[in-house]
Structure 1
Amino acid sequence: MVFDNESKDLTQDEKFDVAIIGGGPAGCATALSLLKYGYSVVIMEKTDYNNLRVGEILPPKIQVPLSYLGIWKKFLNENNSSPSFTILSSWGKKELHENNFIFNPFGKGWHVNRCQFDAFLAHASESAGSRLYLKAKLVSFNLEDNNWKLKVACDNKLYHFKSRFLIDATGHQSAISLQFNANKIVHDKLIGIVCYLSPNSKMTSDNHLLIEAAECGWWYSAILPDQNIVVAYMTDADIYKHGIKKSTTFWNDELQKTIHTKSRLSSYPTQYILNVYSASSFHLDKVSGKGWLAVGDAAIAFDPLSSQGVWKSLQTGIHAAEAIKKYLENKENPLEEYSTWINKIFCNYLLERQKFYSSEKRWPDSDFWKRRN
């Protein structure tokens, strides 16, 4: 967006307790939690929720944070999700293994359209009392006299805000934190090459998540609520770059080497549009500072294999709100406590990640698996 400050209106300063940059799950969970504490919140989201968003699988325990945020029943009533009762995986051996959610204390998991799910969270936050700006671009921000002064371009206007606290919820970009000299500690080169396909005919009930390991990565696929299927090939960026140099049909070539994923896609068209996104695991070496902190993927990013990305984002938002409340009440060391908790969460995740990847031993000479074993 190009803003012409000579021809457009300039709004007066509006004051909020907390300004959140980013309206994804982490930002919205933080907002909903802060509203429960009685704080005023403004959310600035750079999109209108019509962009590509991946991470369509919600684990059964998603019920816990959504219930805490007071929107679990709304989620169930939205009709924008479909239940997932089973994970089928070919991992460590070519045969499929079934992990039935019926044995999970929270029951079934969920498949969602992420654009619709994120928009649902944003509008729930707005209905609860937060101010929401879509297609908003943060122009500048600086700290003066313990208050943040922000300029935001939206709807061909320049908005001026003041807030007592600032939250980086910009996802993998970590756009705010990096300006505070935080550094990303990246643990791998994982990317996802994703496509969405519509069935050639009406599908039968097929609500499982399918995961299939391959020589140079792994595949996942799931039927979405609209009956389209999302298919992703997870590999390392350099492997993909080398592969497409050798063959322009690299993604399909790798698909043909699979057993279960190829079979599942037999009733889908062979034409597709691929989207590539970063899926690397990383953490920031600094997730908080004077009057600010990072939440969700802006602070720590998980491998999609964990299916914990959205759950983690909601949880960090809830914990962040508690830390901010203590900070604004001048309690001792709440941001340090939050940072310690974030580090603990990520360390535990790395242990689980290592355990899962090390259980696949069929391709000992593959760079992808050697890097993880």
Structure 2
Amino acid sequence: MRAGVSHDPRAMPTRFRRHSLPRQSLAFHPTGQRARRTEYFFVEASDGVPHAADLRERRGDDGDDDEWQVGSVRAPSLDVLVVGAGPPGIATALALHARGLRVVIAERRVRGTRGTPGETLPGRVRSALDALGIADVLDDWSCTPIRSHRARWGPALRERHLAHDPDGHAWQVDRDGFDELLRLRAVERGIDVRLGMRCTSVVPETGGWRIALDQERGRSSLRAAFVVDATGRSAFVARRLGARHERCDRTVAVIAGILGPAAARCGSTLVEVCPDGWWYAAALPSDDIAVNFVTDAALVPVGASARTGALFDQLCNAPLIERYLAGCGSPAWLRVVSAAPAVTSPVAGAGWLATGDASSVHDPLAFSGVTKALEQGLSSAAAIAAWFGGDPLALDRYRAAAEDDFAAHLQARRACYAAAGLSRFPFWRQRAASSAPSLARTSAPWWPMTITGPHRAVPDPAHDAPAAASAAHVPA
């Protein structure tokens, strides 16, 4: 039974277009024999659900006795392939798996190699983890409660106690350990997580995509009806499909792991501004201290020793951070990473979407990296489930919501940097006036190949409702 036939040559792979003819037309070879042609249509599976497109070759006239032969393009072997096993990829996969979709996660890393000593999660992260049914990961020893937050954002020092915060206290986590906990929960739920598999290409084909994966044992490929880009800032899949990922400015973070002892500082964080940027420090479960200095890339020298020296030179402008680090040793390691807000456009297309940092990156001042990733994973799953359910506007709504969220974040970021009262310095003046990259809003499908979503009835459990992402806020 055919659920829909496409005769549009643009909807077919290039190698098949020369065989495509309108249904009503008759084409003859010079010898008088009827030409061969191909048609695309959805094939009804054994369970009665038309869930995958197939290619068949039709010979003869339009009568009922025509012979149909299965061509070389087979049905997708899974519903969704998630590229990237970070928090957004795991969240998307867990939510889709709960809805009954077949999901595989491909991750290029075999084990955690982020190299970041820790990350602070706000209290609202528990709501996202509760929605995924994995809030117990916060009970692990590697997740340390943060009960107070001090910040000198401007002339005055403010301290905020989180005991009575509506969202509860925050957590300081080791990112490698936290990501590993999320992957273990996904495996326990029965999701196929494949580590050490690097995505090298994403090629459209009938009914979905063929994704090439490289691993130590060689190259393999998977067919999927839908692909999710959860590759982080690289936005590998989205950029391969023609999207652009652009940064707003040249903000970077100099990250260092300072050897302890940090027991007296455990349970609190500190933020302090200075003319060339701002500092953030927090104690880790390992009794060491994570220190971030957010500044402009032009102010960071080249070379490890020069960067270490420049980092300590900046301490003279941050007396609170200097006292916070009193008695600590030298940095165990130091690295520089991009900390600039960035956005991908478009963030979704026919049969694919980007989530997490592959969609947009918020300023680290928002303290929402992992939380935003989990929340957007939930909203990604809701959009994908609606697409599988036959909603033609599901991805358009997801794209518009992502664009609006990023615009709201930039507006809050400008207000936050202006509130520091340091606009006389170039770093602060530029960010208080920064704007989004000039990427056009694309409400219409941009991918030239039309991929129709399988019309499967997908349950919509209440706990999969997307959580609203929050914008940056001025530290208090």
Same-fold status (TM-score > 0.5): yes
Aligned counterpart in structure 2 of residue 161 of structure 1, from 205, 219, 222? 222
Label 1:34 to 1:204 Cα distance change in 2 as closer, same or farther (>3 A): same
Moved more, 125-134 or 208-217: 125-134
Which structure's relative contact order is higher, taking Cα pairs within 8 Å and 6+ residues apart?
Answer: 1
TM-score normalised by L of structure 1: 0.91
**1:3 matched to which residue of 2?**
none
Distance 1:372 1:243 in 2: 26
**2:371 matched to which residue of 1?**
311
**1:123 matched to which residue of 2?**
184
Please provide the CA RMSD for this pair.
2.2
Q: Deviations over 1:271-322 (max 9, x none)?
A: 5421111111011120011110000000110011010111111111101111
Label 1:107 to 1:172 Cα distance change in 2 as closer, same or farther (>3 A): same
Larger radius of gyration: 2
Label 1:138 to 1:233 Cα distance change in 2 as closer, same or farther (>3 A): same
Measured after TM superposition, the shift of residue 225 of structure 1 is 1.7
**1:58 matched to which residue of 2?**
121
Contact 2:83 2:231 in 1 (8 A): yes
**1:265 matched to which residue of 2?**
325
Aligned counterpart in structure 1 of residue 203 of structure 2, from 124, 132, 142? 142
Measured after TM superposition, the shift of residue 329 of structure 1 is 1.7
Secondary structure of the structure 2 residue equivalent to 1:320: helix
Contact 2:256 2:333 in 1 (8 A): yes
TM-score normalised by L of structure 2: 0.72
**1:5 matched to which residue of 2?**
none
Aligned counterpart in structure 1 of residue 245 of structure 2, from 172, 179, 184? 184
**Which letter does structure 1 place at the counterpart of 2:158?**
H
Distance 1:247 1:279 in 2: 17
More helix by share: 1
Instruction: Say whether 1:365 aligns with 2:427.
Output: no
Aligned counterpart in structure 1 of residue 133 of structure 2, from 57, 70, 73? 70
Aligned counterpart in structure 2 of residue 321 of structure 1, from 361, 369, 381? 381
Instruction: Say whether 1:295 aligns with 2:358.
Output: no
Unpaired segments of 5 or more residues in structure 2?
Answer: 1-74, 433-476
Runs of 4+ in 1 over 3 A off after TM superposition: 241-248
> Aligned pairs, how many?
358
Contact 1:29 1:69 in 2 (8 A): yes
Measured after TM superposition, the shift of residue 14 of structure 1 is 8.2
Distance 2:262 2:301 in 1: 36
Label 1:71 to 1:248 Cα distance change in 2 as closer, same or farther (>3 A): closer
**Which letter does structure 1 place at the counterpart of 2:323?**
S
**2:270 matched to which residue of 1?**
210
Q: Deviations over 1:209-251 (max 9, x none)?
A: 1101011000001111222211011001112249999987211
**Which letter does structure 1 place at the counterpart of 2:426?**
D
**Which letter does structure 1 place at the counterpart of 2:86?**
G
Measured after TM superposition, the shift of residue 364 of structure 1 is 3.3
**Which letter does structure 2 place at the counterpart of 1:179?**
R
**1:286 matched to which residue of 2?**
346
Distance 1:364 1:352 in 2: 16
Contact 1:49 1:118 in 2 (8 A): no
Q: Percent identity?
A: 29
Measured after TM superposition, the shift of residue 63 of structure 1 is 0.8
**1:174 matched to which residue of 2?**
235
Secondary structure of the structure 2 residue equivalent to 1:312: helix
Distance 2:198 2:332 in 1: 32
Contact 1:133 1:154 in 2 (8 A): no
Q: Deviations over 1:328-373 (max 9, x none)?
A: 1211210001001111211221122122111111x33311011022
**1:36 matched to which residue of 2?**
98
Unpaired segments of 5 or more residues in structure 1?
Answer: 1-12
**Which letter does structure 1 place at the counterpart of 2:105?**
I
**2:157 matched to which residue of 1?**
96
Instruction: Say whether 1:24 aligns with 2:86.
Output: yes
Contact 2:212 2:220 in 1 (8 A): yes
Distance 1:43 1:227 in 2: 34
Measured after TM superposition, the shift of residue 49 of structure 1 is 3.4
Label 1:246 to 1:107 Cα distance change in 2 as closer, same or farther (>3 A): closer
Measured after TM superposition, the shift of residue 173 of structure 1 is 0.5
